[in-house]
């Protein structure tokens, strides 16, 4: 039941909609620091991600919710390494049971950013020669949305469209002041997802990099398809709180080979 619920929550988190093609300002310019609107900063961030040569991060997703009287907290680490037109690896660790130690691994990798392989320790299943959309779809629910928080912004697989939804595409975004994340000054931008009942806050630094995402989602199990689980349908409405933090590094001369190393457990 909880695995199916996690998949539903992850898909809900990702339903942000497609990005705009409007002209995007530079978030790091002098004038931008004082004049950019929330929408300007989101557009500038979108532009940055699709243009960077390399991207690496180490992140952590924390998810909390109370269901059937049980308070559940999951902490799930992930990391990304990406070279435009070259190597790619994203991996995420989670638990088979909510609230337990994250001892399961889901990984996606590629040597050319055209053909992608994936592996999940929970079922020991390895898939090869895929378009990026396919393993991302599998990883979305498992990861609580971490898989599609940044990867679609990088626009790696231009032929894919199913998971081309953008974290930066919010309804009625507003700048909600400035705060530090890991001692880096960021603009906090709040808004709503284009689909579902999800409130979102993004922390974007002066360069345009996303360093933190908070989501608050109201989940009504009665609206979930019968195909998911009859047990979930009997669950009352509840709210899930998700925080994703990132430590991004971009445009390195060379990413260390260890960032792309294969792990099978």
The CATH number given to whatever domain includes residue 137 is 2.50.20.10
- Helix or strand holding residue 240 (H, E): strand 238-246
Chain centroid offset of residue 61 CA: 9
Query: What mean pLDDT, rounded, does the chain reach?
Result: 83
Residue 61 lies in a domain: yes
Classify residue 265: in a domain, yes or no.
Answer: no
N-to-C CA span, the chain: 24
Number of domains in the chain: 1
Give CA–CA dist 120/108, Å, rounded.
9
Sign of CA dihedral 14, 123, 3, 240: negative
Highest-confidence range of 22-31, 130-139, 240-249, by mean pLDDT?
Answer: 240-249
Q: Assess if residue 51 is contained within a domain.
A: yes
Distance, CA of 20 to CA of 165 (rounded, Å): 11
Sorted by sequence, the CB contacts under 8 Å of residue 165 that are 6+ apart come out as: 14, 15, 16, 17, 18, 148, 152
> Residue 18 domain-assigned?
yes
**What average pLDDT does this structure show over 176-190?**
97
Residue-level pLDDT at 22: 35
Kindly provide the b/e burial profile for residues 145-184, where b requires at least 16 CB atoms within 10 angstroms of the residue's own CB: bbbbbbbbbbbbbeebeebbbbbbbbeebebeeeeebeeb
- pTM given for the model: 0.82
Q: Please tell me whether residue 5 adopts helix, strand or coil conformation.
A: helix
| Identity of the highest mean pLDDT range in 14-28, 36-50, 213-227 | 36-50
- Structural domain of 248: 2-260
Tell me the mean pLDDT in the region 47-72: 90
Q: Which tops the pLDDT comparison, 146 or 166? A: 146
Evaluate whether residue 68 is within a structural domain.
yes
What was the pLDDT predicted at 15?
Answer: 41
Beta strand 198-205 with 88-94: parallel, antiparallel or unpaired? unpaired
Residue 150 in any domain: the answer is yes
Average pLDDT over residues 49-67: 93
Strands (E), 19-153: 54-67, 70-83, 88-94, 104-110, 116-120, 125-130
Contact, 255 vs 237, CB < 8 A? no
């Amino acid at each position: 039941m909880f695995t199916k619920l996690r998949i539903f929550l992850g898909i809900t988190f990702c339903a942000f909609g497609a990005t705009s093609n409007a002209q995007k300002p530079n978030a790091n310019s002098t004038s931008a620091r004082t004049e950019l609107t929330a929408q300007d900063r989101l557009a500038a961030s979108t532009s940055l991600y699709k243009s960077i040569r390399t991207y690496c991060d180490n992140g952590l997703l924390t998810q909390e919710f109370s269901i059937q009287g049980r308070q559940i907290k999951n902490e799930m680490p992930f990391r990304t390494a990406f070279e435009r037109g070259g190597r790619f690896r994203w991996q995420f660790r989670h638990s088979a049971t909510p609230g337990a130690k994250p001892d399961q691994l889901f990984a996606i990798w590629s040597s050319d950013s055209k053909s992608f392989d994936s592996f999940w320790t929970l079922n020991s299943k390895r898939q090869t020669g895929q378009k990026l959309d396919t393993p991302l779809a599998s990883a979305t629910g498992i990861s609580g949305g971490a898989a599609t928080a940044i990867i679609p912004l990088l626009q790696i697989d231009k032929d894919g469209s199913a998971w081309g939804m953008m974290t930066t595409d919010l309804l009625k975004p507003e700048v909600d002041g400035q705060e530090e994340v890991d001692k880096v000054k960021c603009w906090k931008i709040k808004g709503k997802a284009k689909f579902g009942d999800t409130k979102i806050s993004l922390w974007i630094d002066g360069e345009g990099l996303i360093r933190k995402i908070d989501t608050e989602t109201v989940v009504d199990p009665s609206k979930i398809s019968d195909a998911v689980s009859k047990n979930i349908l009997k669950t009352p409405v509840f709210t899930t709180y998700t925080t994703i933090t990132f430590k991004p590094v971009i445009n390195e001369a060379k990413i260390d080979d260890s960032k792309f190393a294969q792990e099978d457990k």
